[in-house]
Amino acid sequence: MPETQSWLLYNDMFAATTRALTYTFAADGVYYWFMRSWNASDMSSGWVSRTITIDSVAPVSAVGSLPGSSRGVFGVSWNGTDATSGIASYDVQYRVDGGAWQPWLTATSLTQAAFVGAKPHSYGFRCRATDRAGNVEAWPGSADASTTVNLDPIFVYLPVAARP
């Protein structure tokens, strides 16, 4: 989808008249605009530059794979890509036993976190990304990854010695 940017061009610094310049960008990308002006006495300004980033495409993200069986606390990771402006944040949701989606992390810059589940439930996870231009990815219709908490936790016993 082309994007249009407009600028006002002044005939000279004392004139009250202006001309408008409109340019339509044909594709997403980073564009550089350079301009220099002259007055009626043929004196020029220094070069002025602007960077213009056009990004109309939403990013793409997904939750990484999970093992089929997990203990009560397990790691969940996600990642995404955006070709133009980069990822600003992620929203991550989970659901228990195929139920309604629940928010877990909102507008986070994290790409991994520990999740606490309960035995004997199944957990599905999905994510969506927002890029720096404000484009928001649609939620996937199903879980990106799932696991079932059905393994007993591991307990580590450490000997305790009394201090004399």
Residue that terminates a domain, selected from 54, 70, 96: 54
The mean pLDDT value for 71-76 works out to: 92
The answer to whether residues 48 and 64 belong to one domain is: no
Q: Looking at the structure, do residues 43 and 75 belong to the same domain, yes or no?
A: no
Distance, in Å, from the CA atom of 36 to the CA atom of 151, rounded to the nearest integer, reads: 69
Q: Are residues 47 and 68 in the same domain?
A: no
Q: Do residues 144 and 66 make contact, with C-beta atoms less than 8 angstroms apart?
A: no
Claim to verify: residue 144 and residue 65 sit in the same structural domain = yes
Structure confidence at residue 52 as a pLDDT band (50, 70, 90): confident
User: Are 45 and 85 part of one and the same domain?
Assistant: no
13, 36, 54 - which closes a domain: 54
Residues 93 and 118 in one domain: yes
CA–CA separation, 86 vs 28, rounded Å?
13
Return the sign of the alpha-carbon dihedral for residues 66, 67, 69, 74: negative
Mean predicted lDDT score pLDDT of the chain: 84
Please report the pLDDT score of residue 153 as a whole number: 64
**Cβ pair 70, 117 in contact under 8 A:** yes
CB 100 within 8 A of CB 124: no
Is the residue at 139 inside a domain?
yes
43 with 12, same domain? yes
> Please, which pLDDT band fits residue 91 given cuts at 50, 70 and 90?
very high
pTM summary value? 0.72
Q: Give the chain's domain count.
A: 2
Domain that residue 97 falls in: 60-149
Report the candidate in 76, 105, 100 with the shortest Cα–Cα distance to residue 89. Answer: 105
Same domain? 46 vs 95: no
Q: For residue range 125-144, list pLDDT tens digits in order.
A: 999 999 999 999 999 999 99
pLDDT band at 154 (very low <50, low <70, confident <90, very high): low
Residue 108 or residue 151, greater confidence: 108
Is 14 part of a structural domain of the chain? yes
Burial of 124 (0-12, 13-18, 19+ CB in 10 A): buried
Examine the pLDDT at 21 and tell me if it is beyond 70. Answer: no
Whether residues 100 and 125 share a domain: the answer is: yes
Q: Let me know whether 25 and 89 are in one domain.
A: no
For residues 135 and 107, state if they share a domain.
Answer: yes
